[in-house]
Chain A
Amino acid sequence: MSQTPHFPIYMDYGATTPVDPRVVDAMVPWLREHFGNPASRSHAWGWEAEQAVETAREQVAALIGADPREIVWTSGATESDNLAIKGAAQFYKGKGRHLITVRTEHKAVLDVMRELERQGFEVTYLEVQPDGLLDLEALRAAIRPDTILASVMLVNNEIGVIQDVQAIGRLCREKGVLLHVDAAQATGKVAIDLATLPVDLMSLASHKTYGPKGIGALYVRRKPRVRLEAQMHGGGHERGMRSGTLPTHQIVGMGEAFRIAREEMARDSEKARALHRRLVDGLKDIEEAYLNGHPTQRVPHNVNMSFNYVEGESLMMGIKGLAVSSGSACTSASLEPSYVLRALGRSDELAHSSLRITIGRFTTKQEIDYAIRAIRDNVARLRELSPLWEMHQDGIDLSTISWAAH
Chain B
Amino acid sequence: MAYSQQVIDHYENPRNVGSFDKGDASVGTGMVGAPACGDVMRLQIKVNPDTGVIEDARFKTYGCGSAIASSSLVTEWVKGKTLAQATELKNSQIADELALPPVKIHCSILAEDAIKAAVEDYRKKHA
Chain A: residues with CB nearer than 8 A to chain B? Answer: 309-311, 313-314, 317-318, 328-330, 333, 337, 347-349, 352, 384-390, 398, 403-406
Residues in A whose Cβ lies below 8 Å from that of B79: none
Establish whether residues A388 and B40, one from each chain, have CB atoms under 8 Å apart when the complex forms.
Answer: yes
- Considering the complex, give the chain B residue whose CB is closest to the CB of A402: B34
Binds A, one of B55-63, B81-89, B91-99, B119-127: B55-63
Distance (whole angstroms) from the CB of B45 to the closest CB of chain A = 15
Residues in A whose Cβ lies below 8 Å from that of B32: 404, 406
Distance in angstroms between the alpha carbons of A142 and B14 in the assembled complex = 53
Establish whether residues A317 and B65, one from each chain, have CB atoms under 8 Å apart when the complex forms.
Answer: yes
Partner of A330, one of B17, B35, B38, B61: B38
Establish whether residues B62 and A388, one from each chain, have CB atoms under 8 Å apart when the complex forms.
Answer: yes
Establish whether residues B11 and A317, one from each chain, have CB atoms under 8 Å apart when the complex forms.
Answer: yes
Partner of A385, one of B35, B37, B68, B106: B68
In the assembled complex, 9 residue pairs joining A and B whose CB atoms fall closer than 8 Å, in A order, are A328-B38, A329-B37, A348-B35, A349-B36, A352-B38, A385-B68, A386-B62, A388-B40, A405-B34
Point out which of B31, B33, B39, B62 has the most chain A C-beta atoms below 10 A from its C-beta.
Answer: B62
Establish whether residues A403 and B33, one from each chain, have CB atoms under 8 Å apart when the complex forms.
Answer: yes
Residues in A whose Cβ lies below 8 Å from that of B38: 311, 328-330, 337, 348, 352
Establish whether residues B34 and A403, one from each chain, have CB atoms under 8 Å apart when the complex forms.
Answer: yes
- Considering the complex, give the chain A residue whose CB is closest to the CB of B110: A406
Establish whether residues B35 and A403, one from each chain, have CB atoms under 8 Å apart when the complex forms.
Answer: yes
Partner of B64, one of A317, A347, A403, A404: A317
B77 at the interface (CB under 8 A from A): no
Residues in B whose Cβ lies below 8 Å from that of A386: 60-62
Establish whether residues A314 and B11, one from each chain, have CB atoms under 8 Å apart when the complex forms.
Answer: yes
Q: Contact flags (1/0) for B1-38 with A, using CB distance below 8 Å?
A: 00100000001001001010000000000011111111
Distance in angstroms between the alpha carbons of A314 and B35 in the assembled complex = 14
- Considering the complex, give the chain B residue whose CB is closest to the CB of A347: B36
Establish whether residues A406 and B34, one from each chain, have CB atoms under 8 Å apart when the complex forms.
Answer: yes
Establish whether residues A310 and B62, one from each chain, have CB atoms under 8 Å apart when the complex forms.
Answer: yes
Establish whether residues A311 and B64, one from each chain, have CB atoms under 8 Å apart when the complex forms.
Answer: yes
Distance in angstroms between the alpha carbons of A384 and B61 in the assembled complex = 9
Establish whether residues A387 and B106, one from each chain, have CB atoms under 8 Å apart when the complex forms.
Answer: no
Distance in angstroms between the alpha carbons of A312 and B41 in the assembled complex = 16
Establish whether residues B31 and A387, one from each chain, have CB atoms under 8 Å apart when the complex forms.
Answer: yes
Given contacts A311-B62, A314-B63, 16 further A-B pairs with CB under 8 A are: A310-B62, A311-B39, A311-B67, A313-B65, A314-B11, A314-B65, A314-B67, A317-B64, A317-B65, A328-B64, A329-B37, A337-B38, A347-B36, A386-B60, A386-B62, A404-B32
- Considering the complex, give the chain B residue whose CB is closest to the CB of A390: B60
Establish whether residues B62 and A309, one from each chain, have CB atoms under 8 Å apart when the complex forms.
Answer: yes
Point out which of A310, A318, A348, A385 has the most chain B C-beta atoms below 10 A from its C-beta.
Answer: A385
Residues in B whose Cβ lies below 8 Å from that of A404: 32-34
Establish whether residues A406 and B37, one from each chain, have CB atoms under 8 Å apart when the complex forms.
Answer: yes
Establish whether residues A384 and B17, one from each chain, have CB atoms under 8 Å apart when the complex forms.
Answer: yes
Residues in B whose Cβ lies below 8 Å from that of A406: 32-34, 37, 106, 110
Establish whether residues B3 and A317, one from each chain, have CB atoms under 8 Å apart when the complex forms.
Answer: yes
Point out which of B11, B33, B36 has the most chain A C-beta atoms below 10 A from its C-beta.
Answer: B36
Tell me whether A385 and B61 are in contact in the complex, defined as CB-CB below 8 angstroms, given that A348-B35, A403-B34, A405-B34 are known contacts: yes
Distance in angstroms between the alpha carbons of A326 and B105 in the assembled complex = 21
Distance in angstroms between the alpha carbons of A313 and B69 in the assembled complex = 13
CB proximity to A under 8 Å, residues B34-54: 34-42
Point out which of B38, B39, B103 has the most chain A C-beta atoms below 10 A from its C-beta.
Answer: B38
Distance in angstroms between the alpha carbons of A165 and B38 in the assembled complex = 35
Distance (whole angstroms) from the CB of A275 to the closest CB of chain B = 28
Establish whether residues B103 and A385, one from each chain, have CB atoms under 8 Å apart when the complex forms.
Answer: no
Lowest 10 A-B CB distances belong to which pairs?
Answer: A403-B34, A348-B36, A387-B60, A387-B42, A313-B64, A352-B38, A349-B35, A330-B64, A317-B65, A386-B62
Residues in A whose Cβ lies below 8 Å from that of B19: 390
Residues in B whose Cβ lies below 8 Å from that of A333: 103
Distance (whole angstroms) from the CB of A329 to the closest CB of chain B = 5
Distance in angstroms between the alpha carbons of A389 and B3 in the assembled complex = 25
- Considering the complex, give the chain A residue whose CB is closest to the CB of B106: A406
Establish whether residues A405 and B37, one from each chain, have CB atoms under 8 Å apart when the complex forms.
Answer: yes
Residues in A whose Cβ lies below 8 Å from that of B37: 329, 348, 405-406
Distance (whole angstroms) from the CB of A331 to the closest CB of chain B = 9
Partner of A387, one of B3, B11, B40, B65: B40
